[in-house]
Structure 1
Amino acid sequence: MKYHFIAIEGNIGAGKTTLAHLLSKKLNARLVLEEFDENPFLPKFYENPKQYAFPLELFFMAERYKQLKDMLRTKDMFQSVTVSDYLFTKCLLFAKVNLPEEEFRLYQKLFDIMHQQIIFPDIVIYLHAPVAKLQKNIRKRNRSYEQSIPDEYLFNIQETYTGYIKQHNIKTIFIDASSADFLDNEKHLKVVLDALESDLDDGQHYFTLP
């Protein structure tokens, strides 16, 4: 495996964690998963976004920063590859959608300080699915606080992600996940594994699933 640090990204309900688990097993990789359940502001945010957006995003950024810094300090000599189900820049992208301008400017200053100390992944796998598919997945996993997420919110997150990836010319395996079933369809997982073995330049590389 030519990549030592692989990050999987995508919208809420895109299937990031499922794919991260599968890839870590296939590649014998260390697995880094976002610990969103530990954020006490998450259910409150969905009930009252304006009041709880700032503490929500600060908590997420602090936890992600700590997790990735710990990962750097504890290199595993038996696992040369790390797979994460998030990109640290996710902090800034969600904050851009969730925070008013003044709070976002303050948040960005804190983000810039932390971001300098974090290693950027060698490659990003981005799972792109239409909002209807995301909503179906969200209903299926049945987290109570997610069940009333508006379509417009998911669309805004999607646009922010794709805009960032294209603007910064990040080396990205861009997967059309409209019909993705990585858990039960080996052919879908094989598309991702084959893409990771390919010689890819910087920028986006689009793959469809059989």
Structure 2
Amino acid sequence: MKYRLITIEGNIGAGKTTLSTLLAKQLNARLVLEEFSDNPFLPKFYADPDRYGFPLELFFMAERFKQLSAMLEPDMFHQTTVSDYLFIKCLLFAKVTLADQEYQLYKRLFDIIHQQLVFPDILIYLQAPVAKLQQNIQKRNRSYEQAIPDSYLQSIQQSYLSYIQQRKGITLMVDASNADFLEDARHLQVILDALDKDYSEGVHRLNLP
């Protein structure tokens, strides 16, 4: 495998965890999945975002840092690691979620700890329209997600795309409009084949059959 640390990213409902899990199995890789369900502020945030946005994002940042810090330790059983999130997502979500003064304080904390983490060798970004995201969100049926407005998903999408445009490193932008990694083996194979290739720095687009 050319890439030792592979990160999958995308909006809420894009299919990050599904693809990460399948890739890790195929590549015999260590799998790192975000433990979002442990955040006690998540249901409260969707009910009252103005009140619970700051503690929500602080909790996420602390947990993500703890989890990704463990990746600094060598793993004698796996040469490759697949993760379903970037640490930068803390900042991308906070930019949308928080008021300006809260965001500036949050960013100061983020900047202190971000530099301590390793960066992925390659980023795979799953880009899907809001209608597809909402379809996936409804399908997985987490009660606290069912009322996420389209406008929030659109804001998160724009935050990611703005970041990717100026990101250093290799990014594979996957059109996930009709992605079904579980049921269509061809879709997973496109990703596996892509990971066997060399890329220059920048954004490279992938289409699924």
TM-score (norm 1): 0.98
Alignment of 1:90-109 (within 5 A): 90-109=89-108
Q: Deviations over 1:29-80 (max 9, x none)?
A: 000000000000000000000000000000000000000112212x211201
- The one-letter code of the counterpart of 2:84 is D
Within 1, Cα distance between the matches of 2:203 and 2:60? 27
Aligned to 1:172: 171
- Unpaired runs of 5+ residues, structure 2, are none
Aligned to 2:147: 148
Q: In 2, are the aligned partners of 1:10 and 1:127 still within 8 Å (CA)?
A: yes
Within 2, Cα distance between the matches of 1:170 and 1:177? 21
Question: What is the CA-CA distance between 1:184 and the residue it aligns to?
Answer: 1.2
Within 2, Cα distance between the matches of 1:138 and 1:161? 18
Within 2, Cα distance between the matches of 1:16 and 1:168? 19
Within 2, Cα distance between the matches of 1:169 and 1:156? 22
Within 1, Cα distance between the matches of 2:57 and 2:143? 20
- The one-letter code of the counterpart of 1:192 is I
Aligned to 2:64: 64
TM-score (norm 2): 0.99
Q: Where has structure 1 moved over 2 Å in runs of 4 or more? A: none
Q: In 2, are the aligned partners of 1:41 and 1:52 still within 8 Å (CA)?
A: yes
- The one-letter code of the counterpart of 1:125 is I
Q: In 1, are the aligned partners of 2:121 and 2:169 still within 8 Å (CA)?
A: no
Question: What is the CA-CA distance between 1:171 and the residue it aligns to?
Answer: 1.0
Aligned residues: 209
Q: In 1, are the aligned partners of 2:28 and 2:78 still within 8 Å (CA)?
A: yes
Q: In 2, are the aligned partners of 1:3 and 1:123 still within 8 Å (CA)?
A: yes
Give 3-state SS (helix, strand or coil) of 2:191's partner. helix
- Tell me which moved more, 114-123 or 168-177: 168-177
Aligned to 2:203: 204
- The one-letter code of the counterpart of 2:49 is P
Give 3-state SS (helix, strand or coil) of 1:145's partner. helix
Q: In 2, are the aligned partners of 1:6 and 1:83 still within 8 Å (CA)?
A: yes
Aligned to 2:10: 10
- The one-letter code of the counterpart of 2:198 is D
Within 2, Cα distance between the matches of 1:198 and 1:2? 8
Aligned to 2:182: 183
Within 1, Cα distance between the matches of 2:84 and 2:151? 23
Q: In 2, are the aligned partners of 1:9 and 1:86 still within 8 Å (CA)?
A: yes
Aligned to 1:112: 111
% of aligned pairs identical? 67
The answer to whether 1:26 aligns with 2:29 is no
Give 3-state SS (helix, strand or coil) of 1:197's partner. coil
Q: In 2, are the aligned partners of 1:169 and 1:204 still within 8 Å (CA)?
A: no
Aligned to 1:55: 55
The answer to whether 1:125 aligns with 2:124 is yes
Within 1, Cα distance between the matches of 2:156 and 2:22? 25
Aligned to 1:78: 77
Within 2, Cα distance between the matches of 1:97 and 1:5? 27
